Every structure is written in structure tokens, then in C-alpha cells.
């Protein structure tokens, strides 16, 4: 098991390296798209700033508090996006037949498709998310304790893992519907957008769904509410604040199963 993971990681890095070299052939284009990525991903925060130019709080949360949510969501999503953000090419690869060429290589197909079109320009989203997060940490008036200090990196890591699981599950879905790559956007891009706003903004049933059904709430909402000392709209036991790594592990396991089922279905149907 450990060896298989190590091999997969190695293959991933080999292929990602090839994509980086490919992008660096066109340096100007890379610089432009990198700047563009920074700008595009920054628009979400610009919208929040615009909202706060007209109001002082949203759902009872102040701007630095919303910025804290935003920074956590954008950074962890940014990491997942950098690592697996191009998995939506799977459908195209299946349609044009190039997916088959991955299956004759002595390397994990998941690693190969995960590294496909690896793009360093995606560092843009991580960068602006991290900047906002840094600002929020300084100005959100957090009453720091060791537990809260520990929670921040934990949230980022678990959040990134949860988003990675969504990307893999989305890719697995493309084995069934090759044209429907956009569905996963609702969960990935939609998910990160959703988590940039306070949970108090949303209807109770909606928050319930996003906490228990599709556990996005554990990316930042639940632990961040604790760090900021704000009540979560749902009654949850205190320990759930530490649940994100567990939730992430379950999500990754389920996504892995979905991927295997999808790949098996592909290999038996060839489409």
C-alpha cells in the first residue's frame, strides 16, 4: 500500500514536471495567465468588499470575520485546484481516445490524470487566498488559544483534502457522463463560493445539507465558527470542531472507491 502510494506520487511528479516545462516554453503567456488567475480569483473577494462598502455586517459577521472564512476556503480550494484541478479533462480524454494511452503505462491512472495539464498559474488563487487569510488573522480580533492556533493549519489541510476528494469524485462521474464535466463545478467552485459566506446567511436546511450530507461545512464553517467564537447555526457537539481530518479521510476513501468503480466500468465498457 505504502509503496503503491509512493509510486503514484512519483508518477504524478514526473508528469507534472513535464507540464511545467511545457508551459515554460511560452513564458509571456504563462506570466499573463498567472496574473489573470490572480485577478479572476480575486474577484470573489472584490465582490465581498463591494458588499461591505454598503453594509457593516453580513449574516451578523464582520468583514474580517468573513475574510477569515474566505481566506480558509480560497486557500484550501486553491491547493486542491493546483493539485487536481485539471481532472475535468478526463471526459475529453475518453472521447478522443487518449485516455487509453494512460492505461498502458506502468503508473497509476489516477496519478496520471491528476497531473494532466498541471498548471502553476493556479498558484494565483492560493496566493490571494493566503493574503486575505493573513489579513483576517490579524484583524478578526481572534481570542487566540493553543487549540485555535493548531486548528488553522489543520483546517487548511483537511479542507484541501475534502476538495481533492470532490475533484476525484467529479472525475469518476465523467466515466459515466463524459460531457457532464460541468456538474463537478457546482460542487467545487460552487463549494468554495458557498464557504466564503457565513453559515448564518443560508437557510437552516441548507446548512444541514452542507454539514451532514455533503460535508463541506467541515472545510471551514464549523471550526472557523469556533475560532471566531461565533455560534454555529446547528447544534453540534464541541468535538466536531476537530472532525475535519476525519471527514476528509472519509471523503477521500469514498472518492477513491468511486474512482475505482468508474475505472472498472470504463475498462469493461470501453466508453
Partner 1 sequence: MFIEVDGVEKVFEVRKKTGFLKRERRQVRAVDSLSFTVARGEMVGYIGPNGAGKSTTIKMLTGILTPSGGRLRVAGIDPSRERMRLAHRIGVVFGQRTTLWWDLPLIDSYRLMHRMYRIPDARYAENLDRLVELLSLESLLDVPVRQLSLGQRMRGDIVAALLHDPDVLYLDEPTIGLDVISKAKVRDFLRELNTERGTTVLLTTHDLQDIEQLCSRVMVIDHGRLMYDGPLAGLHEAGESERTLVVDLERELPPIDAGPAARVVKVEGPRQWLAFPASESAAPLVARIAAEYPLADLSVREPDIEAVIAKMLRSLGDTPKPPPDRATA
Partner 2 sequence: MGAGRLYTAVAAGGFRRYATYRAATAAGVFTNTAFGIILVYTYLALWDEKPHLGGYDQAQAVTYVWLGQCLYATLAIQGGGVEKDLMERIRTGAIAIDLYRPADLQLWWLATDLGRSLFQMLGRGVIPFLVGAVFFPMALPADAGTWAAFLVALFLAMLVSFGIRYLVALSVFWLLDGMGVNQVLMVTGIFFSGMTLPLNVFPGAFGEVVRVLPWAAQLQMPADVLMGETGVAGAFAFQAAWAVALLAAGRLLQSAATRRVVVQGG
What is the closest distance, in whole angstroms, from the C-beta atom of residue 263 to partner 1 in the complex?
10
Q: How many residues interact with partner 1 (rule CB under 8 A)?
A: 24
DSSP for 121-182, written as a single string = GGHHHHHHHHHHHHHHHHHS-----HHHHHHHHHHHHHHHHHHHHHHHHHHHHHHH-TT-TT
User: What's the CA gap between 76 and 48, in Å, rounded?
Assistant: 18
Q: Which of residues 154-193 bind partner 2 (CB under 8 A)?
A: 177-183, 185-187, 190, 193
Q: Is 32 in the site for partner 1 (CB under 8 A)?
A: no
Backbone angle region of 117, left / alpha / beta, with phi > 0 → left and psi within -120 to 50 → alpha: left
Closest to 49 in 3D by CA, of 163, 128, 153: 128
What is the closest distance, in whole angstroms, from the C-beta atom of residue 165 to partner 1 in the complex?
24
User: What's the CA gap between 264 and 262, in Å, rounded?
Assistant: 5
Using CB under 8 A, pick the residue from 19, 59, 135, 148 that binds partner 2.
Answer: 59
Q: Give the single-character DSSP code of 212.
A: I
What is the closest distance, in whole angstroms, from the C-beta atom of residue 98 to partner 2 in the complex?
19
DSSP 3-state assignment of 59?
Answer: coil
Nearer to partner 2, 183 or 249 (CB): 183
> Distances in Å between the alpha carbon of 26 and those of 32, 114, 182?
10, 22, 28
Q: Is 141 in the site for partner 2 (CB under 8 A)?
A: no
Question: Among partner 2, partner 1, none, what binds residue 29 when CB lies within 5 to 8 Å by partner kind?
Answer: partner 2
Using CB under 8 A, pick the residue from 3, 21, 25, 53 that binds partner 2.
Answer: 53
Q: Which of residues 87-106 bind partner 1 (CB under 8 A)?
A: 96-98, 100-101, 103-106
Question: Among partner 1, partner 2, none, what binds residue 15 when CB lies within 5 to 8 Å by partner kind?
Answer: partner 1
Q: Is 39 in the site for partner 2 (CB under 8 A)?
A: yes
User: What's the CA gap between 176 and 192, in Å, rounded?
Assistant: 25
| Segments in 26-142 forming alpha helices (H) | 27-54, 63-84, 90-96, 99-103, 109-114, 123-139
Nearer to partner 1, 10 or 204 (CB): 10
Q: Which of residues 2-21 bind partner 1 (CB under 8 A)?
A: 11, 14-15, 18, 21
Q: Which residues bind to partner 2, rule: CB under 8 A?
A: 26, 29, 32-33, 36-37, 39-40, 43-44, 46-47, 50-51, 53-59, 177-183, 185-187, 190, 193-194, 197-198, 200-203, 206
Amino acid at each position: 500500500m505504502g509503496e503503491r502510494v509512493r509510486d503514484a506520487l512519483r508518477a504524478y511528479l514526473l508528469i507534472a514536471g513535464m507540464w511545467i516545462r511545457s508551459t515554460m516554453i511560452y513564458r509571456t503567456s504563462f506570466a499573463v495567465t498567472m496574473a489573470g488567475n490572480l485577478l479572476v480569483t480575486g474577484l470573489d473577494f472584490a465582490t465581498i468588499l463591494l458588499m461591505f462598502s454598503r453594509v457593516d455586517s453580513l449574516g451578523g459577521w464582520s468583514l474580517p470575520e468573513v475574510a477569515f472564512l474566505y481566506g480558509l476556503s480560497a486557500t484550501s480550494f486553491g491547493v486542491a485546484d493546483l493539485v487536481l484541478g485539471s481532472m475535468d479533462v478526463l471526459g475529453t480524454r475518453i472521447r478522443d481516445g487518449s485516455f487509453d494511452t494512460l492505461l498502458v503505462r506502468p503508473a497509476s491512472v489516477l496519478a496520471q490524470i491528476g497531473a494532466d495539464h498541471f498548471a502553476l498559474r493556479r498558484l494565483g488563487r492560493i496566493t490571494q487566498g493566503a493574503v486575505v487569510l493573513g489579513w483576517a488573522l490579524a484583524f478578526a480580533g481572534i481570542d487566540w488559544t493553543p487549540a485555535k492556533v493548531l486548528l488553522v493549519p489543520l483546517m487548511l489541510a483537511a479542507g484541501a483534502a475534502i476538495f481533492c476528494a470532490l475533484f476525484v469524485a467529479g472525475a469518476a462521474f465523467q466515466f459515466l457522463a463524459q460531457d457532464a464535466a460541468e456538474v463537478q463545478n457546482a460542487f467545487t467552485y460552487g463549494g468554495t463560493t458557498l464557504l466564503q459566506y457565513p453559515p448564518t446567511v443560508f437557510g437552516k436546511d441548507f446548512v444541514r445539507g452542507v454539514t451532514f450530507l455533503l460535508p463541506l461545512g467541515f472545510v471551514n464553517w464549523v471550526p472557523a465558527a469556533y475560532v471566531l467564537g461565533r455560534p454555529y447555526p446547528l447544534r453540534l457537539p464541541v468535538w466536531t470542531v476537530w472532525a475535519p481530518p476525519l471527514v476528509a479521510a472519509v471523503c477521500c476513501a469514498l472518492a477513491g472507491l468511486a474512482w475505482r468503480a468508474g475505472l472498472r466500468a470504463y475498462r469493461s465498457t470501453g466508453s
